[in-house]
């Protein structure tokens, strides 16, 4: 066994967090949006360079459906949703919704504030979902990517959960960063295999 990794997929309600996870794990897309009823935990196994890693993917809203992370009083205790012991974060926003991008901005700040002193920095990948609705986006991709990468010092990627575009790449990049940070002497890691029960191939 290669070990385990804890990943949190967070973002405002309705941005497509569950759709992204389900495309990654099962290769399906729910045509009807149904709000996630409380946090869910998925436990797939990933094959990386011949080693099997147990992955824990947490899917759930931080401040609850319909809420906004505008002030500290609106946030639960970070220990309740495992901010402090998560190995990597996927922060999802809707490229057509500036409010969902502001939500991600607040999430990133909250993560930085709640990491214990001396704890290793957890990689954060900001993901713009619904790329299939490109014509309705609220801002240019290059400007948003530059802000996230240079200003926030986070990774940036856009995907379409509906058409399964860049979904595998999203998790490949996140896991590569998380494992390289956890094992600095290890060469760059590559997602080689598949998830159970759905087999995935590299894009």
Confidence band, pLDDT 50/70/90 cuts, at residue 42 = very high
Mean pLDDT of the chain: 79
Nearest to 20 by CA among 58, 50, 52, 48: 58
C-alpha dist (Å) from residue 42 to 25, 69, 203: 9, 25, 23
Return the higher-pLDDT residue of 78 and 176.
Answer: 176
E strands present in 2-123: 3-11, 40-42, 45-48, 51-59, 88-94
Instruction: Name 57's Cβ contacts closer than 8 Å, sequence gap at least 6.
Output: 7, 8, 9, 21, 25, 41, 42, 43, 44
Confidence band, pLDDT 50/70/90 cuts, at residue 16 = very high
Domains and CATH numbers, the chain: 1-31+38-60+81-183 (3.40.50.300)
Q: Is the dihedral of CA 26, 170, 137, 164 positive or negative?
A: negative
Q: Is the pLDDT of residue 189 over 80?
A: no
Nearest to 174 by CA among 124, 109, 104, 113: 124
The per-residue pLDDT for range 117-155, each reduced to its tens digit, is 777 788 999 999 999 999 999 999 999 999 999 999 999
Average pLDDT over residues 14-42: 86
């Amino acid at each position: 066994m290669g070990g385990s990794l804890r990943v949190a997929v967070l973002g405002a309600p309705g941005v497509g967090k569950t759709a992204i996870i389900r495309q990654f794990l099962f290769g399906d897309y729910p045509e009807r949006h149904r709000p996630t009823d409380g946090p869910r935990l998925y436990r797939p196994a990933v094959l990386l360079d011949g080693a099997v890693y147990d992955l824990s993917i947490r899917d759930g809203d931080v401040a609850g459906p319909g809420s906004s992370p505008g002030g500290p009083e609106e946030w639960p205790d970070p220990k309740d949703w495992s901010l402090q012991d998560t190995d990597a974060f996927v922060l999802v926003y809707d490229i057509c919704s500036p409010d969902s991008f502001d939500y991600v901005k607040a999430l990133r700040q909250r993560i930085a504030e709640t990491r214990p002193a001396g704890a290793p920095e957890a990689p954060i990948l900001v993901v713009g979902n619904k790329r299939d609705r490109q014509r309705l986006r609220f801002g240019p991709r290059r400007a948003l990517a530059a802000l996230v990468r240079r200003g926030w010092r986070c990774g940036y990627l856009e995907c379409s959960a509906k058409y399964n575009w860049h979904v595998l790449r999203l998790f490949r990049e996140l896991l590569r960063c998380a494992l390289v940070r956890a094992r600095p002497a290890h060469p760059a890691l590559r997602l080689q295999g598949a998830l159970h029960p759905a087999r995935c191939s590299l894009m």
